[in-house]
Structure 1
Amino acid sequence: MYNNYIFDLYGTLVDINTDEDNPMLWDKLSMFYSFKGAKYSKEELKKSYQNKVKKELSLIKNTNFPDFPLDKVFLSLYEEKGVKVSKDTVLDTAHMFRILSIKYLRLYDGVIEFLEELKRKNKKIYLLSNAQSLFTAYEMKVLDIEKYFDGIIFSADLGICKPDGQFYNAILHKFNLNKKNSIMIGNDSLCDIEGAFNCGLDSLYIHSNLSPDVNSELKSTYSILDGDFKKVSSMILK
């Protein structure tokens, strides 16, 4: 039925739990910055980080759903204290932040089996994710799933998130995808499903443990309301 399968990541393929308000995160991260010469208390670091994120988002005017690469903020936190660091240090800092925030990271049951099935049938697999490449690309390697994808686009790299149609058009144009034989698969009724609908794409909605409440008409072509990813194959792969 379809040749191109476009996936959301978190809540669709990957089950993740993070807590960026965990005091331990900010305590350890402030110590990491201090080790590098940028001395912060945990309270000061958290406040400065949040203010910088808000400022960066406010500067993006071409969309109602902005995003940006967070390495700008991690670098700016060093610069605020007059400390010069390498790109590798900024990346290590970002990874420290992310690792400290993660409670668990795992795939949903049936994900690998379905990706393998798609490959056996010579289907193309793409990822369209509201995510940071400096986090997510590495998490995909940890989970050993990056090898399955023929193309990946992260919102932070384009400055635009789903459900903005510009984000959907970016993957369609970059990989020359025909809408008629492509499908979006995701767990968010607004970002994944309504965004795809407005762009003219068929979609499959999976209501997972990470799905936001559905507060309006669900516009998906197919739906799995019990979160069972193992049902995806029989529903949309022929």
Structure 2
Amino acid sequence: MQNYENFLFDLYGTLVDIRTNEDSQKLWETMRLLYGYEGAIYTTKELQEKYHQFVSEEKANVRKRNRDREFIDINLGKVFKKLFKYKNVNRVSETKIKNLAATFRSISTDMIQVYDGVYELLDFLKENDKKVILLSNAQSLFTLNEIKMFGLDKYFDDIFISSEYEVSKPDKEFFMIPIKKYNLDPQKTVMIGNDFISDMQGAVKANLHGIYIHQEISTPVDDEEKIVADYKIMDGNVKKIIEFLKG
């Protein structure tokens, strides 16, 4: 078996296939109603425009706080709150924000499913006493629900989501968070992901091994030689990871 003890996984495009559309009319009409129910009155167009404005402003704020980080992320919960505050609705519970985010995500998601072979792979790793960690560029308000929905949470020894740390892959600093927390040996740690930039180039920056799996939603690759990884799977077959690990 390959000499890896610690496995860092990307989520979307690696373990979970997803298609979203955050520009749909139905999404913003529904969100307008939900905000209106709480006294924050918007037109559909105004709500969508303010959402994008506040996202841009939050990104600028995060960059000011983290000038040394090349790749940042924001917490959309702050944007959802700001949309209430803009309409002078200031007392909004965290539960309300979580429910609002869940509605936003469910309506904007056209398709979501676990890739074939994922459960077999994760079972194989846990049966062999490997440390399994999620390292995802994502929004915790969305992702934690989806991990639980598919029963993936039981496989992870820990979960690191970019929106909680204001840093994202391929920034080396994001990779170093779990490495430092668990004192992981880089020579025995592998990143498994579907993005040759965020996942594989990020792993190289952190001196980690890499396993690349190309999926339909992966960043297009015009030259396979650009992908730096111990092993490359170009047909999206997750089960090939198990075959490779068994060596």
Structure 1 residues 29 and 159 mapped into 2: Cα distance closer, same or farther (>3 Å)?
Answer: same
CA RMSD across the alignment: 1.1
> Any idea what SS the aligned residue of 1:85 has?
coil
1:234 maps to what in 2? 243
For residues 3-42 of structure 1, the aligned pairs below 5 Å read 3-42=5-44
Q: Is there any run of 5+ residues in structure 1 with no aligned partner, and where? A: none
Q: Is there any run of 5+ residues in structure 2 with no aligned partner, and where? A: none
Residue of structure 1 aligned with 2:96, choices 89, 94, 117: 89
Letter in 2 for 1:119: K
- The CA distance in 1 between the partners of 2:222 and 2:83, in whole Å, is 38
1:2 and 1:237 in contact (8 A); partners too: no
> Any idea what SS the aligned residue of 1:126 has?
strand
- The CA distance in 1 between the partners of 2:246 and 2:28, in whole Å, is 45
> Any idea what SS the aligned residue of 1:106 has?
strand
- The CA distance in 2 between the partners of 1:175 and 1:52, in whole Å, is 35
Aligned residues: 238
For residues 144-223 of structure 1, the aligned pairs below 5 Å read 144-215=151-222, 217-223=226-232
> TM-score, length-normalised on structure 2?
0.94
- Deviation, 1:25, is 0.3
> Any idea what SS the aligned residue of 2:26 has?
helix
Letter in 2 for 1:48: K
1:119 and 1:148 in contact (8 A); partners too: yes
- Deviation, 1:215, is 5.0
Letter in 1 for 2:150: L
- The CA distance in 1 between the partners of 2:245 and 2:209, in whole Å, is 10
Residue of structure 1 aligned with 2:81, choices 72, 75, 86: 75
For residues 101-120 of structure 1, the aligned pairs below 5 Å read 101-120=108-127
- The CA distance in 2 between the partners of 1:225 and 1:215, in whole Å, is 12
- The CA distance in 2 between the partners of 1:94 and 1:51, in whole Å, is 18
Extract structure 1 runs of 4+ deviating beyond 4 A.
none
Please identify, of 168-177 and 214-223, the stretch whose mean Cα deviation from structure 2 is larger. 214-223
1:51 maps to what in 2? 53
- The CA distance in 1 between the partners of 2:92 and 2:243, in whole Å, is 51
- The CA distance in 2 between the partners of 1:181 and 1:62, in whole Å, is 28
- Deviation, 1:117, is 0.9
> TM-score, length-normalised on structure 1?
0.97
Q: What are the superposed Cα offsets for residues 103-160 of structure 1, whole Å, 9 maximum, x if unpaired?
A: 1111000000110111111111011000111110111000110110001100011100
Q: What are the superposed Cα offsets for residues 154-204 of structure 1, whole Å, 9 maximum, x if unpaired?
A: 001110010000001111111211111110000000000011012111100
